[in-house]
């Protein structure tokens, strides 16, 4: 048998064996999810603010929440504790993760909101209301002097906050912004 015929034979054999497997009955594990169930977990926030929920918060409101729910890990006023400092006045001088802060590294204020909403507090992630997350975001941004202490953060104002390092990122998937 010549080489082209062998390749054709092997491809045909492979197709025949995999076609049967792909048409086989599935094990019927799990159950289909409806849109409401998916919506509970589809909480991604894009840099342009797409996905931000209704609600709002101020730095003053955030200070109270921070003292109650965040300072045990992040220290008084976010200056650092057992967890990373959130309020740091430091220039980035290397690629070490310890050099990166919200003010000198994070490209979008919406990312701050997304992270808090998704992962904080560490002991009870996703337990904060949207208003609490807006307030905490406002507090952290104000403490880093990125917004005025009297500014209100919401779905309209948060994406407009220009982070100092925004222009130093190469957008990997520009069509998603």
Distance CA 83, CA 72 (A): 9
Distance CA 142, CA 154 (A): 14
151 occurs within a structural domain: yes
Q: Are the beta carbons of 70 and 120 closer than 8 angstroms?
A: yes
Q: Are the beta carbons of 152 and 115 closer than 8 angstroms?
A: no
The position carrying tokens 């992040």 is 74
Q: Which long-range contacts (CB under 8 A, 24 or more apart) does 162-170 make?
A: 163/103, 163/106, 163/107, 163/108, 163/109, 164/103, 164/104, 165/92, 165/104, 165/105, 165/106, 165/107, 166/107, 166/108, 168/107, 169/107
Q: Which long-range contacts (CB under 8 A, 24 or more apart) does 154-157 make?
A: 154/52, 154/54, 154/55, 154/56, 154/57, 155/49, 155/52, 155/53, 155/54, 155/55, 156/49
Q: Report the pLDDT value the prediction gives residue 7, as an integer from 0 to 100.
A: 77
Q: Report the pLDDT value the prediction gives residue 100, as an integer from 0 to 100.
A: 80
Averaged pLDDT, 65-75: 96
Does the structure show a pLDDT above 90 at 6?
Answer: no
161 occurs within a structural domain: yes
CATH number at residue 142: 1.10.760.10
27 occurs within a structural domain: no
Per the structure, the count of domains in the chain is 1
Q: Report the pLDDT value the prediction gives residue 28, as an integer from 0 to 100.
A: 80
9 occurs within a structural domain: no
Distance CA 31, CA 67 (A): 42
Q: In terms of DSSP H, where are the helices of 23-80?
A: 35-41, 59-69, 71-74
Q: How confident is residue 21, by pLDDT bands cut at 50, 70 and 90? A: low
Q: Give the range of the structural domain holding residue 59, as residue numbers without chain letter.
A: 43-176
The predicted-structure confidence for 30-64, as pLDDT tens digits, reads as follows 888 888 888 888 888 999 999 999 999 999 999 99
The predicted-structure confidence for 93-146, as pLDDT tens digits, reads as follows 777 777 788 888 889 999 999 999 999 999 999 999 999 999 999 999 999 999
Q: Report the pLDDT value the prediction gives residue 22, as an integer from 0 to 100.
A: 57
Per the structure block, which two tokens stand in for 113? 């909101």
Q: How confident is residue 19, by pLDDT bands cut at 50, 70 and 90? A: low
34 occurs within a structural domain: no
Please state which of the ranges 8-22, 25-39, 104-118, 160-174 shows the lowest mean pLDDT: 8-22
Q: Report the pLDDT value the prediction gives residue 132, as an integer from 0 to 100.
A: 98
107 occurs within a structural domain: yes
């Amino acid at each position: 048998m010549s080489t082209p015929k062998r390749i054709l034979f092997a491809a045909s054999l492979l197709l025949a064996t995999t076609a049967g497997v792909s048409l086989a009955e599935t094990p019927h594990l799990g159950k289909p999810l409806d849109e409401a169930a998916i919506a509970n977990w589809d909480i991604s926030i894009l840099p342009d603010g797409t996905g931000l929920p209704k609600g709002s918060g101020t730095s003053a409101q955030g200070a109270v929440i921070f003292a109650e729910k965040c300072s045990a890990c992040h220290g008084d006023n976010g200056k650092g504790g057992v967890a990373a400092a959130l309020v740091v006045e430091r220039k980035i001088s290397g690629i070490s993760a310890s050099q990166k802060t919200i003010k000198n590294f994070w490209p979008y204020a919406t990312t701050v909101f997304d992270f808090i909403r998704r992962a904080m507090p560490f002991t009870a992630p996703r337990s904060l209301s949207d208003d609490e997350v807006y307030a905490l975001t406002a507090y952290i941004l104000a403490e880093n002097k990125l917004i005025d202490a009297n500014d209100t953060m919401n779905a309209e104002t948060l994406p407009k906050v220009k982070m100092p390092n925004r222009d130093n990122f190469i957008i990997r998937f520009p069509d998603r912004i």
